[in-house]
Structure 1
Amino acid sequence: MRKLRLLTIKCFVAFLIVGCVCQIVVVVEQVRAWRKAVAPFETLGARVSATGGDDMGRLAGRKGVSRIIFRENVGDAELAGLVKRMERFPNLDTLVLEGPKVTDAGLAHLKSLKQLGKILLYNTRVTDQGKADLQRELPNLREL
């Protein structure tokens, strides 16, 4: 009877260890997915924020991306090149675009980002007409 109890305890401990290792592997893979997904944005100096706080959002991989803040070094051409990547972020709610390199043409590239709720513009060359055109394409925008 004692041997059976000892075997049961060993099996239970082994089960716990394997379960913990599996969870760690999942977390590591999600963090890797986050890093891979946001690398092109961070290379351009953008700041990428996660849902539920940085640590929790990063554990969600690319699903955790909620906000991207682009600085003045990003313009129309960069937005055109990154829009397909942004489409892969289902929880991306907010884009912040800053600087004179962003115009109506750059804003037009964003029309496929149906998940967006806010686009904040600072010191851009976007016109009221460019905003109105995008608002028609993205009716879920709460703020532009």
Structure 2
Amino acid sequence: MNRHLYLLAAMLIGGVAHAQTTTAPYRPGYTYKVETAIPGQQVYISGQRPYNANGQLVGPGNLARQTTQVFENLKTALAEFGMTLANVKQITYHVKGDTSRIDPVTTQLLDAATNDYVTQASNSTPIQSQKAIPKIVSADVLIEIEVIAAK
């Protein structure tokens, strides 16, 4: 019975799950990219972190540099599906920090990154949300981003 449910779920998703864009550490069993059942229509990308192609953390302690690296990783991930940052419709930022409040300086930095990478590419602003979380994958990682993209 469970086997049939897994098969049905795989058919409904109709896409391929891929590991992190880089060789960085990732959570086993965690899906990072999924293309939906309608080929070329929507892609969900989660857990993008500031690691370069060699799996090295970029910009320890520097949120701006880490955010830039994550957007570069997102470009690579979207290209696998024939998309660009212009296709991004929704962004969720997970930022390490005080969970009782959202830091306005961080919000300004993320808004600027969204403008530099996504808004300028598409001439529209995607839906954005920011969540403060106490811990990501390691102490030096300050941000993780997930996006929904559509053609």
Structure of greater Rg: 1
Report TM bin, short chain: 0.3 to 0.5
Structure 1 length as normaliser, TM-score?
0.38
Structure 2 length as normaliser, TM-score?
0.36
Point out the structure with the larger helix share. Answer: 1
RCO comparison, higher one (Cα < 8 Å, 6+): 2
